[in-house]
Amino acid sequence: MMIEDVEFQGFRNADPATLRHLADVRNGMSPWHVDTAQVVQNVERHPWVKSADARWASTTELVVVVSEFEPAAVLHWNRLLYVDEQGLPFLEADSAALDFPQITGITPELESRHPDLPRLAVRNALWLVDELDLRGVLPRQELSEIAFSTSRGFTLHTGPSRVVFAHGNLERQTDRLAQLVAHRGVDLSHPTYIDLGPAEVAIVRPMAQNPQL
């Protein structure tokens, strides 16, 4: 018996030719010489591949199913990086595929001063993106940038508007923004500046009154 075919399934961004090269399984090899665990380990070296599974469809056909990372945002580090839903960078971003929320202000310099802060800040930024989208307050596709500051917190750029979340209790501030949108007539499609940081009130004003922001 000899291997007649190696089929890859589940890929969208990974190049099948590269996956085949990494798998290192060639037509004509004996199935007895193929270690499927090693094939999986090899394929998972591809930067787009989050996990893989290899199984025999028949005595001569090997099927490799891959699960790819899903970019949740683009992190502006010392270069542009895709980060997954857990906030972990996995691949340098393609300049032709940057249509994701952009996370800025989190840099290697910040990591050198506060080693644990960058990962926490990225995860909090992604939590805001997911929560606001889930609640229908701010659809993900309308959010262009989440700018992080150690002193100010997160500033969300929504095209015409700016929304500031202070450090701490992001859930409370998200509740406040949801109430402003649902019950106070705040429309983020119009140029508006909102500061959710104060403990008792939210600051809301037209952007025209705050041209420097």
Based on the domain organization, do 43 and 140 belong to the same domain? no
Based on the domain organization, do 37 and 100 belong to the same domain? no
Based on the domain organization, do 44 and 116 belong to the same domain? no
Q: What is the CATH number of the domain that holds 25?
A: 3.10.20.310
What pLDDT does residue 59 have?
87
pLDDT digits (tens, 9 = 90+) for 26-42: 888 899 999 999 999 99
What pLDDT does residue 213 have?
44
What pLDDT does residue 27 have?
86
Based on the domain organization, do 47 and 120 belong to the same domain? no
Domain range enclosing 42: 5-68
Of 68, 89, 117, which residue sits at a domain end? 68
| Residue 162 neighbours by CB under 8 Å, 6+ apart | 155, 156, 192, 193, 194, 207, 213
Sheet holding 5-9, edge to edge: 5-9, 61-68, 49-58
What pLDDT does residue 101 have?
96
Q: Quote the strand ranges of 10-127, DSSP E.
A: 49-58, 61-68, 73-76, 80-83, 89-92, 102-104
In whole angstroms, give the CA distance from residue 118 to residue 116: 6
Based on the domain organization, do 150 and 126 belong to the same domain? yes
In whole angstroms, give the CA distance from residue 65 to residue 190: 46
What's the structural domain count of the chain?
2
Based on the domain organization, do 39 and 96 belong to the same domain? no
Based on the domain organization, do 55 and 106 belong to the same domain? no
Q: Is the pTM of this model over 0.85?
A: yes
Nearest to 27 by CA among 6, 7, 57: 6
Based on the domain organization, do 192 and 99 belong to the same domain? yes
Give the ranges where the chain is alpha helix by DSSP (H).
Answer: 16-23, 36-43, 108-113, 117-135, 170-183
What pLDDT does residue 159 have?
85
Residue ranges in the chain modelled with pLDDT below 50: 209-213
Q: Compute the half-sphere exposure of residue 130: CA atoms within 13 Å on the CB side of its CA.
A: 13
Q: How do beta strands 102-104 and 145-149 pair?
A: parallel
Based on the domain organization, do 195 and 154 belong to the same domain? yes
Of 33, 52, 68, which residue sits at a domain end? 68
Of 19, 43, 68, which residue sits at a domain end? 68
First and final CA of the chain: distance in angstroms?
A: 70
| Residues facing residue 100 across a β-bridge | none
Share of the chain above pLDDT 90, in %: 88
